[in-house]
Protein backbone atom coordinates (compact mmCIF):
# COMPACT_ATOMS: atom_id res chain seq x y z
CA UNK A 1 0.00 0.00 0.00
CA UNK A 2 1.24 3.43 -0.88
CA UNK A 3 0.89 6.56 1.25
CA UNK A 4 -0.47 9.82 -0.11
CA UNK A 5 1.85 11.64 -2.46
CA UNK A 6 3.15 15.02 -1.44
CA UNK A 7 2.22 17.77 -3.80
CA UNK A 8 3.65 21.19 -4.41
CA UNK A 9 0.45 22.81 -3.17
CA UNK A 10 0.90 21.11 0.22
CA UNK A 11 4.40 22.56 0.45
CA UNK A 12 3.08 26.00 -0.49
CA UNK A 13 0.35 25.73 2.17
CA UNK A 14 2.88 24.76 4.84
CA UNK A 15 5.20 27.58 3.84
CA UNK A 16 2.33 30.08 3.91
CA UNK A 17 1.26 28.84 7.33
CA UNK A 18 4.82 29.13 8.64
CA UNK A 19 5.15 32.68 7.32
CA UNK A 20 1.77 33.68 8.78
CA UNK A 21 2.65 32.19 12.17
CA UNK A 22 6.03 33.95 12.17
CA UNK A 23 4.34 37.21 11.23
CA UNK A 24 1.85 36.84 14.10
CA UNK A 25 4.48 35.90 16.68
CA UNK A 26 7.00 38.55 15.74
CA UNK A 27 4.34 41.16 15.19
CA UNK A 28 3.10 42.96 12.19
CA UNK A 29 5.44 45.68 10.99
CA UNK A 30 4.42 48.83 12.75
CA UNK A 31 5.82 52.25 13.33
CA UNK A 32 5.23 54.61 16.18
CA UNK A 33 1.57 55.27 16.83
CA UNK A 34 0.68 58.88 16.25
CA UNK A 35 -2.56 60.60 17.12
CA UNK A 36 -3.38 62.79 14.17
CA UNK A 37 -6.95 63.81 14.89
CA UNK A 38 -8.13 66.68 16.99
CA UNK A 39 -11.49 67.82 18.28
CA UNK A 40 -12.35 70.80 20.43
CA UNK A 41 -15.45 72.73 21.37
CA UNK A 42 -15.96 76.13 22.85
CA UNK A 43 -18.30 79.07 23.10
CA UNK A 44 -17.64 81.84 20.65
CA UNK A 45 -18.76 85.45 20.62
CA UNK A 46 -22.41 86.13 21.41
CA UNK A 47 -22.70 82.73 23.12
CA UNK A 48 -22.56 80.84 19.84
CA UNK A 49 -21.24 77.32 20.31
CA UNK A 50 -18.29 76.34 18.16
CA UNK A 51 -17.21 72.75 17.53
CA UNK A 52 -14.33 71.77 15.28
CA UNK A 53 -13.01 68.37 14.24
CA UNK A 54 -9.75 68.17 12.32
CA UNK A 55 -8.15 65.10 10.72
CA UNK A 56 -4.57 64.78 9.60
CA UNK A 57 -1.35 66.12 11.01
CA UNK A 58 -2.10 69.72 11.84
CA UNK A 59 -1.91 71.91 14.87
CA UNK A 60 -5.18 71.96 16.68
CA UNK A 61 -6.99 74.08 19.16
CA UNK A 62 -8.97 77.25 19.24
CA UNK A 63 -7.49 80.10 17.30
CA UNK A 64 -5.65 82.54 19.48
CA UNK A 65 -7.15 86.02 19.40
CA UNK A 66 -5.16 88.66 17.63
CA UNK A 67 -3.46 90.97 20.09
CA UNK A 68 -4.81 94.48 20.34
CA UNK A 69 -2.49 96.99 18.71
CA UNK A 70 -0.57 99.22 21.06
CA UNK A 71 -1.59 102.85 20.72
CA UNK A 72 1.00 105.14 19.22
CA UNK A 73 2.19 107.71 21.74
CA UNK A 74 1.22 111.27 21.05
CA UNK A 75 4.00 113.81 20.88
CA UNK A 76 3.79 116.74 23.27
CA UNK A 77 2.92 119.99 21.53
CA UNK A 78 5.87 122.13 20.58
CA UNK A 79 6.06 125.44 22.46
CA UNK A 80 5.44 128.60 20.34
Task: Provide the residue ranges of all domains of the chain, joining segments of one domain with +.
Answer: 33-60
pLDDT tens digit string along 22-78? 888 777 666 666 666 666 677 766 766 766 666 665 565 556 777 788 888 787 777
Dist CA 21 CA 63 (whole Å): 49
Would you call 33 exposed, middle or buried from its count of C-beta atoms within 10 A (0-12, 13-18, 19+)?
exposed
Dist CA 13 CA 19 (whole Å): 10
DSSP secondary structure string for all residues of 20-51: HHHHHHH----------EEEEEEE-GGG-EEE
pLDDT tens digit string along 4-14? 666 778 888 88
Q: Is the pTM of this model over 0.85?
A: no
Which residues have CB under 8 Å from 33's CB, separation 6+?
none
Amino acid sequence: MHGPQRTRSALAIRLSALLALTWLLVGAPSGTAVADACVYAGIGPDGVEVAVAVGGIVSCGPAKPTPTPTPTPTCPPTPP
